[in-house]
Chains A and B, each alone.
Chain A
Amino acid sequence: MSISIYIEPIATGEELIKKLLQDEFGISEINAGILFTNLVKPHFDKFKENTFVLAETNYVDKVYRDSYYHYYSSKLHKYKRDSVRLSFFEEKISDTDFFDENQHSVLQKKYRGFIVLRPTEPFIMGRSIISPLLLKTNNFMFCVSKFHTTANGVKFTVKGFPHSSQDTETISCAETSLWAIMEYFSNRYSDYQPVLPSKIIRTLNQVSSERQVPSKGLNIAQMSYALKEFGFGTRIYSKQQYATEFDSLLSCYIESGIPIIVAIDNRHRGGNIGHALLAIGHSKIENNEIDALAPYTTSNTTLTGALVAKNIVLYDYDAITKDFVFIDDNHPPYQKAPLAQPAKHYGAEWHTCEVTYFIAPLYPKIYLEAYEAKNYVRNFIITGPEPLNNDSQILLRFYLASSRSFKDAIAKNDTVKEDLKGILIETSMPKFIWIAEVSSKDLIKESKANGIIIVDATEANIYFNKPLILAAYNDKLILFDEISGALESNSLALQNFRIFEHNLNDFEL
């Protein structure tokens, strides 16, 4: 049984896909046309005009094969085992390039990822990893991972985020989101394992009083449980509970490079939609969006009183209105939408949907989560022992980072003064730290800050500044004396430095 291979420009993509659906999956010509128009074309329409498609039949897809052996093979109807893989290249390619080793580096430069078509009519769109470089518009930053794959026998790498559509029977939107998030984390960090649909079903069987297939979706608590079983210290945030802080907490985790599961629904508005998707990044921040940022306000009367008394204006970077980037199994990857209209790319019946919950999959030893950490920093700089000067106007950019990545970035950052650089690199830090960069509206437009507060993400004891590792702002360095244990303020001239931008990445080759 040999593999059939085709190379076509995207302009003749319709003809190619319809032929593959008919020849490989036994789908009728009429249905193949409908499936192309409804499911494949929305993906192709986002790709650049100079895209070339390499199609391979008889592809063994790990995700579909798992669903096939655990579910589809037990049905009367004969589902096929094999899938079709479409690989994408920017600019023309030819079959001879693949057999010429000298051309492999050229092919790698043109390679932009793949989409699997699976024989589960009408839900044929399987897993994919598409480089945003293939998209006509890609002005965003997101949680990127590099994936290893092959096309026509040659090994390639692609940077992107995993995506799949649901088959509605073994994986609904909820299971697909779990699969995608684990695929990302397991590919990026050795602490995690990838999961297949049968593992998700098996895990949830332990806490379910009913069978899990055919899938009827999952509730948010079940999704959080599954992530916990897969090795995360998950936290659930409800919009109703966190109210005005909700959006900025979500934004803070995204800024931390943590993809999160987002629940949107309109049942509280009389609808019947409940949907899970992933938020993985945001659009690049424009200067006018920074200018439009309103000062931070809080219901905390002590903090508000101190802000007024000292005439301090505080801006929260997370509150900047921007588009977020979503991985949505009903749409092609990298959909952009503001949090206020998360379903704006859907039809009218979805427009009443709003983000009601999100689940943050945290590293299990992050004991201090975003709500408390952000509050700690605000209290420290406004009402703490070494507060901001009166009449200050500052913008706080807050995120979680691994101390490894942070120190690496500091070591390479030639805008950080030598003394501060030495102290930052030589200070003991846990695996993850909360960082608040102290900047201003003008400075942040240049991607710069002039102060920094580092907080221990493993320290849940918030008394007597226990979580503080060090703070440097207002030309002062504040840290604990190692011998006496007393908090000390040292005069240290600071200068503007480049902010840390390694959590969310561009997607260069």
Chain B
Amino acid sequence: MINRISRTEAIKAKMKQEGKVTTLDKAQHISAITTMNKQLEAVRREYQVKDRNSQITASTVILTA
């Protein structure tokens, strides 16, 4: 008989059986995830501007010394 030695499934099943698992799908969780999405969207817009400006100005700095 072939033995499967990976443990993750057993660990997860045991946690589920012991009632240690909470699905993060309640209203407060969804609200937090939605807020995170908005936050990270703002970070991305900010990053894209910083990244583009870094590229544009990079061609003006000559390194010779």
CB–CB A491/B20 < 8 A:
yes
CB distance B29 to A385 under 8 Å?
A: yes
- With A419-B11, A488-B22, A491-B20 as known contacts, state yes or no: A236 contacts B54, CB within 8 Å: yes
Q: Tell me, yes or no, whether A220 is within 8 Å of chain B by CB.
A: yes
**Contact A219 to B59, CB < 8 A, known contacts A426-B7, A463-B40:** yes
| Interface of A: prevailing SS | mixed
- Check if B33 sits within 8 Å of A465, measured CB to CB: yes
Q: Is A383 an interface residue (CB 8 A)?
A: yes
The answer on a CB contact under 8 Å between A302 and B39 is yes
Taking a contact as CB atoms closer than 8 A, the residue among A235, A273, A375 that contacts B40 in the complex is A375
Q: Is A173 an interface residue (CB 8 A)?
A: yes
Q: Is the CB of A380 within 8 A of B36?
A: yes
* Interface: A387 (CB within 8 A): yes
Given contacts A371-B50, A372-B43, A379-B40, contact A172 B63 (CB under 8 A): yes
Judge whether B44 and A462 touch: CB under 8 Å: yes
Count CB-based A-B contacts (< 8 Å): 163
**Is A487 interfacial (CB-CB < 8 Å)?**
yes
Assuming A379-B40, A465-B36, is B57 touching A240 (CB within 8 A)? yes
What residues of chain B lie closer than 8 Å to A462, measured between beta carbons?
Answer: 37, 40-41, 43-44
What count of chain A residues pass the 8 Å CB interface test? 62
**Interface flag for A213 (CB, 8 Å):** no
Range class of the B interface residue count: 35 or more
| Cα distance A22–B8 in the bound complex, in angstroms | 69
Contacting pair A220 B24 (CB below 8 A):
no
Q: Give residues of chain A (364-421) contacting chain B, Cβ–Cβ below 8 Å.
A: 371-372, 375-376, 379-380, 383-387, 419
B58–A372 CB distance below 8 A? no
- A220 engages B58 (CB within 8 Å): yes
Q: Are A489 and B54 in contact (CB under 8 A)?
A: no
Q: Are A303 and B39 in contact (CB under 8 A)?
A: yes
Name which residue of chain A comes closest to B12, CB basis: A490
A490 to B11 Cα, complex, angstroms = 10
- 8 new A-B contacts at CB < 8 Å, known A379-B40, A383-B32, A462-B37: A173-B65, A274-B62, A300-B39, A330-B65, A357-B54, A357-B61, A481-B23, A487-B33
> Which residues on B are within 8 Å of A, measured CB to CB?
6-8, 11-12, 15, 20-25, 28-29, 32-33, 35-37, 39-44, 47, 49-51, 53-55, 57-65
